[in-house]
Structure 1
Amino acid sequence: MTTDKDCAAQFDAATGTRTTNTSAWATPLFVLLWSSGAIAARLALDHATPFALLTLRFALVCAVLGAIGLARHRLLPPRGERLYAALTGLLLIGGYSVFYFLALDQGMTPGVLATVLGAQPMLTLLLTERRFSAARMAGLALALAGLAMVVADSLLLARLSLAGVLCALASLASMTVGAILQKRITRAPAEVLPLQYGASLAACLLCLPFQPFAFDASLAFAAPLLWLALVISIGATLLFYRLIRAGNLVNVTSLFYLVPAGTAVLDYLLLGNRMAPLAMAGMGAVLAGLGVVFRGGRPNGIRESCRNPASPWRGAVQRLRSRSANAANTVNRARSEDPFIKS
């Protein structure tokens, strides 16, 4: 029997909406925090090699989440779910980050890398939604074009290498598959993140023999490192996982189109670097494309009794009408057969 709660859950899952206003504050906060990560990473990389920053960041996250997990007596998910959670984290966090830095190390510019990773919502749409409108795909394409406009300067300076392209594609594949797997995890994000960051830290440690490891033990490095570890890797990632659980996966991943634009705004506000007119036009294209994407989602895969979002009671009403009709037929039949009523 389909309850009203089931109907609401199915409709929310299909459309990416919620019956609460959680996403109203979580979405802009996530974009703001994630956008600040690029500036913090830029400041930190002035004092450390990429893999030193990544390894120390993940180690700090593991220490904090491990302490919280021990205090809550929930350090790991149940035994039967650990392998799946670890594999998901290895892809979504470890694989994405490791291949991202390897692509940069191979000479790929951040703008080109951001554009390659911008294909993730399109891949997610093709892999997860059986039926989607052409307008929805067009909105993603418009947002991707806007992203390319925002990072146009970096694109013009790009010098591509085969190794860099392969690492960028591996980062894209890791994040896409990892996000799809994460959508299926029903545990609270705080219950799986310690294990996932542990698996990601192990991946970084495996790469260390082949990568330089050096950093300055200074406040100029410690401050952005703490921001990346505590605010981005814990706070923003918890928000990201919450959005994945609550909404449509394509809509959530398409929010990454806003990150370069958000970084450009913060770069101007905090560091005084002006945005080029083309970048501002690109921000407008991103917003317009995302508007089409969010409006284009339709409630596919919902049971027939829940298809009308304006009336989640529809299935129950139909069943009541059917039972009432059956009861009326029974009463009429009994009356026709009762000799006292006939007379």
Structure 2
Amino acid sequence: MSAPASAEPTSRSTSSWVTAGLSVAFVLAWSSGWIGSRLGTQAFTALNLLSWRMVVLCPVAVVILIITTTPRPNSARRMPAGWKQQVLVGLLSQVVYTWGAVAAVQYGVGVGTAAVIAALQPMMTGAIASLILKETVKKREWTGLVTGLAGVALAVSGDLQGGAAPAWAYLLPFTAMLALVAATLIEARRPSQRPVAERLSIQVLVGAIVFVALAAVTGQFVGPHLSNGDFWVTVAWYVVFSITGGYTLYWVVLRRTSATRVGTLIYLTPPTAAVWAWLMFGDTLTGMTLIGFAVVAVGVALVFLDASSKKV
């Protein structure tokens, strides 16, 4: 009778390591989005780039939906349960969030400035989750959230700027941040039982419809840029790292942890993006960036190393 008792701690330990590994992979994939914004907006508009990103993924999304939603014989034809929620989540996370973040860079907002604004997400998520989801956000976790935000500000302080973009452009990353908070809380409040691949496919199709329509109306759906290697490299970068990696891991980690914790991981993405930029573009990693990275790590540790906190 002693075997089950000893197996339970081992199972929990294994699950913790899996969650940790998924969290690291998520940070790497999500931070790549800032690099994609820099690669893409140097020569292309946000709508043009995001439209083709979704179009490339549409055939895959359709195949996944056909496989996962094969109707049963004599069953009524109706929208599968949970699809309406995924349409809303897709509008918020794939349309409002991605366009707001990429367009902000296009209109002159510094990547660092946009990252700081986007890094308000964990604070907003923690505050709202404690009210709506009844998640217990302890003093130690709040300390970690504040510390993490301060670390992000330090890490990207060299890229903070003022006056380089119109005032309204700074509303774009703020709106994007609020949209991702809303999508996170919707998914956390009513966790979908549908496969992650199916949910993400719905979101991709929603994004494709909206972006292609907007790009076509504004005359920005041009191409395909078959001869432009930089364009397709950027599209592939977004498809592989941002959508396939970033969003998939975001929803998986959310299911395994909590809205507050998955939001806290966002703090690690701007400093990680700085390392990406150092490796890819030769950007300088300043002492302040490294100090900020260390402060962020302390903030995240305060949230995640609280062994008594549980997912609600």
- Bin the TM-score by the shorter chain: 0.7 to 0.9
Measured after TM superposition, the shift of residue 30 of structure 1 is 1.6
State the shift of 1:152 in Å. 1.1
Partner of 2:52: 56
Identify if the C-alpha distance between structure 1 residues 36 and 160 changes in structure 2 by more than 3 Å, giving closer, same or farther: closer
- Measured in 2, the distance between the counterparts of 1:227 and 1:160 equals 26
1:190 partner amino acid: A
- Letter of the structure 2 residue corresponding to residue 266 of structure 1: W
Read off the aligned partner of 2:264 and give its amino acid letter. S
Question: Please, which of 145, 158, 161 is the counterpart of residue 153 of structure 1?
Answer: 158
Aligned partners of 2:258 and 2:311 also within 8 Å: no
Deviations 1:34-63, CA, capped at 9 Å, x for gaps: 223332342233342221111100111222
One-letter amino acid of the structure 2 residue matched with residue 168 of structure 1? P
Q: What residue identity is the alignment partner of 2:169?
A: G
Q: Which amino acid aligns with 1:193?
A: L
Q: Distance in 2 between matches of 1:241 and 1:261?
A: 22
Q: Does 1:243 align with 2:253?
A: yes
Closer/same/farther in 2, CA of residues 104 and 214 from structure 1, 3 Å limit? farther
Secondary structure of 1:107's aligned partner: coil
Q: How far apart, in 2, do the equivalents of 1:71 and 1:157 lie?
A: 50
Pairwise CA distance, 1:210: 3.7
2:197 pairs with one of 175, 190, 195? 190
Q: Distance in 2 between matches of 1:267 and 1:301?
A: 34
Relative to structure 1, the CA distance from residue 301 to residue 114 in structure 2 (aligned partners, 3 Å threshold; closer, same or farther) is closer
| Matching residue of 2:278 | 268
The residue number in structure 2 matching 1:322 is: none
For structure 1, the residue ranges without an aligned partner over 5 or more in a row are: 303-343
- Where does residue 74 of structure 2 map in the other structure? none
Give the equivalent residue in structure 1 for 2:98: 97
Are 1:207 and 2:214 counterparts? yes
Aligned to 1:156, what secondary structure does the other structure show?
Answer: coil
- State the TM-score, normalized to the length of structure 2: 0.82
Whole-Å Cα distance in 2 between the matches of residues 118 and 34 of structure 1? Answer: 12
Q: Which has the larger radius of gyration?
A: 1
Q: Which residue in the other structure is 2:81 paired with?
A: 80
Is 1:38–2:39 an aligned residue pair?
no
Q: 21, 24, 39: which is aligned to 1:28? A: 24
CA distance 1:104–1:272, change in 2 (3 Å): closer
Unpaired segments ≥5 residues, structure 2: 72-76
Q: Conserved in 2, the CA contact under 8 Å of 1:90 and 1:200?
A: yes
Between the aligned residues of both structures, percent identity stands at: 22
Distance (Å, rounded) in 2 between the aligned partners of 1:256 and 1:211: 34
Partner of 2:287: 277
Shifted more, 80-89 versus 102-111: the winner is: 102-111
Q: Please, what TM-score do these two structures have when normalized by structure 1? A: 0.75
CA shift, 1:270, in A, is: 3.3
> Could you report, residue by residue, the CA deviation over 1:70-101 in whole angstroms, capped at 9, with x for unpaired residues?
34555999533221111111112211112223
Give how far 1:213 is off.
4.5
* 1:163 corresponding residue in structure 2: 168
Describe how 1:294-333 pairs up with structure 2 within 5 A.
Answer: 294-296=304-306, 298-299=308-309
Name the SS of the counterpart of 2:283 in structure 1: coil
Which consecutive segments of 4 or more residues in structure 1 shift more than 6 A?
Answer: none
Query: Which stretch shows the higher mean deviation, 235-244 or 131-140?
Result: 131-140
Relative to 1, partners in 2 of residues 1:211 and 1:255: Cα closer, same or farther, differing over 3 Å?
A: farther
